[in-house]
Amino acid sequence: MKAKAKFLLISVLFFSLVLSGCVSPSQPEESAAAGAESEPGQQGASSGSFAEGEGVSESMPDAGDSSVPDINSESGETSSLIRSVTLFPANAMPGASINVSVEAASGVEKVEIAGEDVGLVNENGIWKGSIIAPSEAGAYVLEITAGDGSGGCAEASVPYRVLLLEGGADITVFPRANNVTAGEEILVNIRVKNTQNVDDIFRVYLDATGSEVPAGSQAEPGWFEWSEKTVELRAGQDVSLPLNIRISEGISPGYRLFSAKVVSETSELYGFDTGYLLVS
């Protein structure tokens, strides 16, 4: 079963990284003009973050490359003070918290967001912080500046979008029906797709005791390799989560069912699908 939520899409701007010369944090560039409407279905894409061991399906949109080795400095020479910038979400709802991660060179002593009262904290070479998305839908640009101890500096201009939510999420157990012998193990995949126009964080979990599963036909929770995962998905992105299921010995023949569920951590979006195990 699939869950869908429909709202209005205001604007579309592909997420990308634009780099320019260094400027003072007190002189940010103006935000890109907002309000230009575009065709529904266009989605921004950027590098996503996934838990270790999770596989990303080939149908996922190409991620934007945020790694840029050379940046113009004030002296006109090339620099590598800022190596990459990642925003999540880069397609955000009004008022959402946007996490900012900047990979900087080891000699960098300060990384700042121009025009924002936000200090980024260095965590093993990754400078991290967050901002609050504007309340108005539109296209915006975040200015990042970095400086080292010798007076060198660099700037990165990172576009992002604020949108009114449209779309939903799909979850599928594949294959849905499986033949398995008691005492043996099978592999299924839990596929999740973010069909929203915004980036989102989803909690994916397994449930063998919910109302969707008939009493007497429930799979045992101990059969599953994992019971819950959290994934970050860009707009239009999907992920396939491998799941090993080992059936206990001595289980009587018959169907055993379980539900795979997905819940958005930023909205009320919810959905589930049912997996069938025919034990022999």
Q: Where are the domains of the chain?
A: 3-162, 167-279
- The rounded distance, in Å, linking the Cα atoms of 100 and 24 is 19
Q: What are the structure tokens assigned to 263, written together?
A: 């819940």
- The rounded distance, in Å, linking the Cα atoms of 189 and 252 is 25
Residue count of the chain? 280
- The rounded distance, in Å, linking the Cα atoms of 18 and 251 is 59
Q: 268 or 11, which is more confident?
A: 268
Q: 120 or 74, which is more confident?
A: 120
Residue 68, Cβ density class (10 Å: 0-12 exposed, 13-18 middle, ≥19 buried): middle
- pLDDT class for 125, splitting at 50, 70, 90? confident
DSSP letter string over 158-183?
Answer: EEEEE----EEEEEEEESSEEEE-TT
Residue 274 has pLDDT above 50, yes or no: yes
CA nearest neighbour of 21 among 159, 160, 152, 161: 152
Average pLDDT of span 191-213: 93
Residue 270 has pLDDT above 80, yes or no: yes
How confident is the model at residue 69, as a pLDDT?
Answer: 31
Report domain 167-279's class: mainly beta
How do strand 270-279 and strand 228-233 relate by DSSP bridges? unpaired
Q: What are the structure tokens assigned to 101, written together?
A: 């991660």
Quote the mean pLDDT of the chain. Answer: 77
Average pLDDT of span 56-61: 32
Residues of the chain with pLDDT > 70: what percent? Answer: 72
What is the CB neighbour count within 10 angstroms for residue 111? 26
- The rounded distance, in Å, linking the Cα atoms of 113 and 131 is 9
Average pLDDT of span 71-84: 55
CA nearest neighbour of 234 among 189, 195, 191, 190: 195
Average pLDDT of span 180-184: 94
The torsion angles phi and psi of 9, rounded to 5 degrees, stand at -90, 125
How confident is the model at residue 68, as a pLDDT?
Answer: 34
How confident is the model at residue 10, as a pLDDT?
Answer: 31
CATH architecture of 3-162: Single Sheet (2.20)
Average pLDDT of span 32-39: 35
Coil/strand/helix, residue 208: coil
Summarised one tens digit per residue, pLDDT across range 128-161 is 999 999 999 999 999 999 998 888 889 999 999 9
pTM for this entry = 0.70
How confident is the model at residue 171, as a pLDDT?
Answer: 97
Residues of the chain with pLDDT > 90: what percent? Answer: 59
How confident is the model at residue 214, as a pLDDT?
Answer: 84
Residue 71 has pLDDT above 70, yes or no: no
Coil/strand/helix, residue 112: strand
According to DSSP, residue 2 is labeled -
- pLDDT class for 178, splitting at 50, 70, 90? very high
